[in-house]
Amino acid sequence: MIKLVILLSTLLAVHNVQARFVGGIGYIQPGEYRVDNEINPLPLGISVVPMIFYRGERLSVLGPNLSYSLIKGPINFALSVGATGDRYKTESLEQRDAAINAGFSLRLLFLTLNYASDVSNVFDGNTMSAGIGWRFQLTQSLFFTPSIKKEFLNSSYVNYYYGVSTDEAGRFTSYRVNSAVNDIYAIGLTYILNPIQSFSLNYSYKVFDQVIFDSPTINEKSYGRLSFFWNYKF
């Protein structure tokens, strides 16, 4: 995490000439899908979050997520660093913590591909995703963004966040599996109130792979996540 902060500070210093800053606050409400989770499952562990968005010529920062575009335009290729994970804590199991993923993203018009690997040595694995989405302008001030995504999680990720090791077996039976593929459906609405303020309302619905749903720590096959953001341009 310290290395990420140093990298972020350095890149901001280099690219502040053509920068655009947006501040605000957001609220994220994930659905309940775990068995007796004692902590917030979001990667940062909080639901009300101050938002700082930065966009330079090539560098973009949204909360804990950073991307640097090497190729810009209809085809966009960017390096990325961000927080990930499915935090979990309950009786007899060690706490599952958030991780820092680093990788790249490739956007081809409405198609987006992502690959990232854990650089924080939390779950020591990688994640990939492939999705399609588009932003439609409904009125001069209102925008609608639907998307569909496949999320590919390797066995290290799945076993860290949803598995139960032999040493932890007790209340939960031991559970080890291979990789998993989740489906994610999302819609977003953005309303431009004026040149400096906007509001965003987003809803996503994740359907777990059967191997994740079969985990003794999961009690729902799917869950929704609602978020609302107020943004203010500086």
Question: pLDDT at position 19, please?
Answer: 57
φ, ψ dihedrals at 172, nearest 5°: -105, 145
Among 107, 100, 117, smallest CA distance to 78 is for 107
The mean-pLDDT minimum among 12-26, 136-150, 215-229 falls in 12-26
φ, ψ dihedrals at 139, nearest 5°: -140, -175
Report pLDDT digits (tens) over 16-75.
445 577 888 999 999 999 999 999 999 989 999 887 888 888 999 887 889 999 999 889
Greater pLDDT, 15 or 141 = 141
What does the DSSP 8-state code read for residue 166? Answer: G
Contact between residue 120 and residue 100 where contact means Cβ atoms under 8 Å apart: yes
Given the DSSP bridges, would you call strands 136-137 and 142-153 parallel, antiparallel or unpaired?
antiparallel
For the chain, where are the alpha helices, taking DSSP H only? Answer: 2-14, 155-162, 210-213
The mean-pLDDT minimum among 24-33, 45-54, 82-91, 123-132 falls in 45-54
pLDDT exceeds cutoff 60 at 223: yes
Among 55, 45, 59, 1, smallest CA distance to 23 is for 55
Question: pLDDT at position 73, please?
Answer: 86
Question: pLDDT at position 52, please?
Answer: 80
Question: Residue 142's pLDDT band (boundaries 50, 70, 90)?
Answer: very high
Contact between residue 212 and residue 4 where contact means Cβ atoms under 8 Å apart: no
What does the DSSP 8-state code read for residue 228? Answer: E
What percent of the chain stands above pLDDT 70?
Answer: 92
**Domain at 72, CATH number:** 2.40.230
Mean pLDDT of 163-188: 94
pLDDT exceeds cutoff 90 at 189: yes
Who contacts 13 (Cβ-Cβ below 8 Å, separation ≥6)?
none
Mean pLDDT of 205-234: 95
pLDDT exceeds cutoff 60 at 7: no
pTM of the model: 0.87
Domain range enclosing 155: 2-233
Question: pLDDT at position 213, please?
Answer: 97
pLDDT exceeds cutoff 50 at 222: yes
Torsion angle defined by CA atoms of residues 1, 93, 221 and 48, in that order, rounded to the nearest 10 degrees: -40
In the chain, which ranges are E strands?
Answer: 20-30, 48-55, 59-62, 65-71, 75-84, 88-90, 93-96, 99-108, 111-118, 126-133, 136-137, 142-153, 180-194, 197-207, 222-233
Mean pLDDT of the chain: 90
What is the CA angle 174-34-124, rounded to 5? 60
- Structure tokens given for 137: 């302008």
How many independent structural domains does the chain possess? Answer: 1
- Structure tokens given for 53: 């968005």
